[in-house]
A and B are shown apart, each in its own frame.
Chain A
Amino acid sequence: MPPSSRTVRRSARWSTVVGIGLVAVYLFPIYWMVTASVKTQPAIRAVPPQIVPIDIDLSSWVDRVFGDPRVLRYIFNSFVVATGTMLLTLALAAPAAYALAKLRLRGKSLLMTLSLSSLMFPAIMLATPLFVIFGRLGLTDSYIGLILADTTLALPYAIVLLRPTFARIPKEFSEAARIDGCSEFGAFLRVIVPLARPGLATVAVLAFLWGWGDLVFALTLATEDSMRPVTTGLWGFFGANTSDWGGAMAFSTLAMLPPLIVFLWSQRLVVAGVTAGGIK
């Protein structure tokens, strides 16, 4: 016998409650971090813990985070590196993926194999040789060096993800543009790229997130304090021996905010990217 519509509705309501409860448990560490950043020192150490902060105290932010001019520098560095990684990844991956999907050329399988096999390259494995190569070229402790290095993480994935995106665009679009007098590249830029916007946006968001979160290249290629991004900046401030959890949580919250905002603003794209196998 089929269940009555009222039981269906009641079970749906319970599902909503459980669904919210589960995600709340999962995200508790984030909540704990953000609230700790505005707690007083005794509240941070309180047993039993203060689940909801009673007194708001911004001293962790004022003294430890914004009291130090280096922090803003780290944030700025991360923005430059993450944005640069995003742009370079798009500029390299989009034409290559388009050519792989739509144009006649030899060696397609070579490029695809190269992309697929570099998906698994750990950053740590590239860090040593890149340290040597960039050392010779004078690219250590530079934005260009970090951007070039971080793009190694995103580019292979971007090519693999974008190829089917371009393959789905009917070729009548580029043909029409060619008849109107566009060059192959002009047709690609003016007609194809706008049509592929969702795929390109997914790649852009993931490349930004990965560039922002990189630790390995920051650790090995940016040893000068003024070139550090937030990841190594955080580690340098609140390393292995810290007990200043208020400061550490405030800094962590700050380092989390840009990627969190990007994520909340582009959730659907991130879901699409992750579903296509995008894993850091």
Chain B
Amino acid sequence: MKPETTFVKHDASFEKGTAPTRAAVPSPKRRGAAARRALTPYLFVLPALVYMAGLLAYPMVLNVLTSFKDVTAVNLLSGDGQWVGLENYRQALGDSQFVDAAVHSVVYALAAVALQLLIGLALALFYVRSFPGATATRSLYLIGYAIPIVVSAEVFRWLLDGRTGFVNWVFSLLGLQHEPVYWLADRTWALPAIIGIQVWLGIPFAMVTLLAGLTAIPHSLHEAAQIDGATGWRRFRHITVPLLRPTFLAAAILSLIFTFKNFDLIWIATQGGPANASEVLPTLAYKLVFLQFLFGKGAAVLNVIFLVLLVLSLLYLAALRREEDHAA
């Protein structure tokens, strides 16, 4: 934030300094050139602005409008559905399906993010120390981030399969389980299994972000504390924890946003099944819109998702601002 303000101020004083000479020679040709110069910056942002207005802002407005209309497959493309006020919201929110999906979404996002932050932090604390191969091994975790979620979900579908799945074999070897469990086809285990896969998907982001936060803590602080006789735990408690907090908070909120809106994993792993046992809001909205063609009701669910994400984003922006204030 800081450098930009100084930049603008500096520029303004420069303008002021040259203004009189410009006024002294008022040639229309020059004024045209000046106008063109003033216009140029807008041409730089115009394509992105047009794109975002057309493909991000307008669709959002369309969604909100649709949620107040009775839109079906018949009048979808023409766009002339009847206004029905809050009827879609009443129907969507009053549905037990919606309540179940909302509960699943919250449980899934909170549990997965808590676990992936915990594991990510442990891994970051391990890999932040310098040992031969630390840098090479730690960035390999990002393979889990780089490959498509569809691929990871497909592999886990097999790992968690009841007949030939690797997980069942490990659990029975450890004596934790005597009968095969069809993890993703089991009403009790489908959601916990999805949470487990999500933790795997989220670990790279949590770990790499927290590693960057840990690396930014000046080494001299730890050394000074060590000379003063502080033990490892006390150094962690009084140096690492407070200085890592902003990064941790940002990573937590971004992970929550990402997890809450994740559709790909659930769709490939269970499609919300069995019998809605792992239905979350994004899969419910998809089914309402693209399988049942209840566009208004689907839009209502999507706007609820949007509201949750909006609150999370505002929290993220507030956290970012706090971090910047601390840095300044």
For window 51-67 of B, CB contacts with A under 8 Å fall at 51-52, 55-60, 62-63, 66
B145-A270 in contact (CB<8A): yes
Cβ of A36 < 8 Å from any Cβ of B? yes
A77 contacts across to B, CB distance below 8 A:
none
A188 to B3, CA, bound (A): 21
A27-B51 in contact (CB<8A): no
Closest chain B residue to A251, Cβ basis: B154
Cβ of A260 < 8 Å from any Cβ of B? yes
A125-B302 in contact (CB<8A): yes
B147-A259 in contact (CB<8A): yes
A195 contacts across to B, CB distance below 8 A:
none
Cβ of A75 < 8 Å from any Cβ of B? no
B309 contacts across to A, CB distance below 8 A:
120-122
Q: Interface 1/0s, chain B 23-63, versus A by CB < 8 A?
A: 00000000000000110111111011101100111111011
A99-B44 in contact (CB<8A): yes
Cβ of A128 < 8 Å from any Cβ of B? yes
Q: Contacts A26-B203, A105-B42, A119-B313 known; A252 to B145 CB distance under 8 Å?
A: no
B134-A213 in contact (CB<8A): no
**Interface 9-mer from B85-93, B235-243, B252-260:** B252-260
B147-A92 in contact (CB<8A): no
Report the interface size class on chain B: 35 or more
A121 contacts across to B, CB distance below 8 A:
56, 60, 306, 309
A41 to B267, CA, bound (A): 27
Closest chain B residue to A136, Cβ basis: B77
Q: Give the one of A12, A23, A98, A209 with max B CB within 10 A.
A: A23
B139-A271 in contact (CB<8A): yes
Closest chain B residue to A232, Cβ basis: B150
B151 contacts across to A, CB distance below 8 A:
33, 234, 252, 255-256
Q: Give the one of B48, B129, B152 with max A CB within 10 A.
A: B48
B148-A159 in contact (CB<8A): no
Cβ of A216 < 8 Å from any Cβ of B? yes
From residue A19, how far is it (CB to closest CB) to chain B in Å?
A: 5
Identify which of A91, A129, A213, A267 contacts B63 (C-beta below 8 A).
A129
Q: Contacts A15-B131, A29-B152, A124-B285 known; A36 to B158 CB distance under 8 Å?
A: yes
Cβ of A79 < 8 Å from any Cβ of B? no
Closest chain A residue to B139, Cβ basis: A267
Identify which of B7, B142, B163, B261 contacts A271 (C-beta below 8 A).
B142
Q: Interface 1/0s, chain B 115-143, versus A by CB < 8 A?
A: 00000000100110111111001111111
A120 to B203, CA, bound (A): 19
A268 contacts across to B, CB distance below 8 A:
139
Cβ of B144 < 8 Å from any Cβ of A? yes
Interface majority SS on A: helix, strand, loop or mixed? helix
A98 contacts across to B, CB distance below 8 A:
44
Q: Interface 1/0s, chain A 183-223, versus B by CB < 8 A?
A: 11100100000000000000000000100110110011000
B59-A130 in contact (CB<8A): yes
A155 to B130, CA, bound (A): 36
Cβ of B248 < 8 Å from any Cβ of A? no
B209-A275 in contact (CB<8A): yes
B317-A275 in contact (CB<8A): no
Closest chain B residue to A209, Cβ basis: B146
For window 257-285 of B, CB contacts with A under 8 Å fall at 257-258, 261, 263-264, 267-268, 271, 282, 285
Cβ of B110 < 8 Å from any Cβ of A? no
Report the interface size class on chain A: 35 or more
B131-A16 in contact (CB<8A): yes
A95-B45 in contact (CB<8A): yes
A159 contacts across to B, CB distance below 8 A:
48
Cβ of A104 < 8 Å from any Cβ of B? yes
Closest chain B residue to A168, Cβ basis: B3
Closest chain B residue to A279, Cβ basis: B258
A128 contacts across to B, CB distance below 8 A:
63, 66, 289-290, 295, 298-299, 302
B140-A27 in contact (CB<8A): yes
A47-B169 in contact (CB<8A): yes
Q: Interface 1/0s, chain A 244-269, versus B by CB < 8 A?
A: 01001100100110011011000110
Q: Give the one of B123, B130, B164 with max A CB within 10 A.
A: B164
B142-A270 in contact (CB<8A): yes
B60 contacts across to A, CB distance below 8 A:
121, 125-126, 129
A103-B40 in contact (CB<8A): yes
Closest chain A residue to B285, Cβ basis: A124
B317 contacts across to A, CB distance below 8 A:
116
From residue A163, how far is it (CB to closest CB) to chain B in Å?
A: 9
A252-B146 in contact (CB<8A): no
Cβ of A44 < 8 Å from any Cβ of B? yes
Cβ of B76 < 8 Å from any Cβ of A? yes
Q: Contacts A126-B59, A213-B150, A274-B209 known; A249 to B44 CB distance under 8 Å?
A: no
17 contacts between A and B (CB under 8 A): A20-B133, A32-B159, A45-B163, A99-B45, A105-B44, A120-B257, A124-B263, A125-B261, A125-B306, A126-B55, A128-B66, A135-B76, A155-B51, A215-B148, A255-B151, A274-B208, A280-B149
6 smallest beta-carbon distances between A and B, as pairs: A129-B59, A122-B261, A213-B148, A99-B44, A103-B41, A96-B48
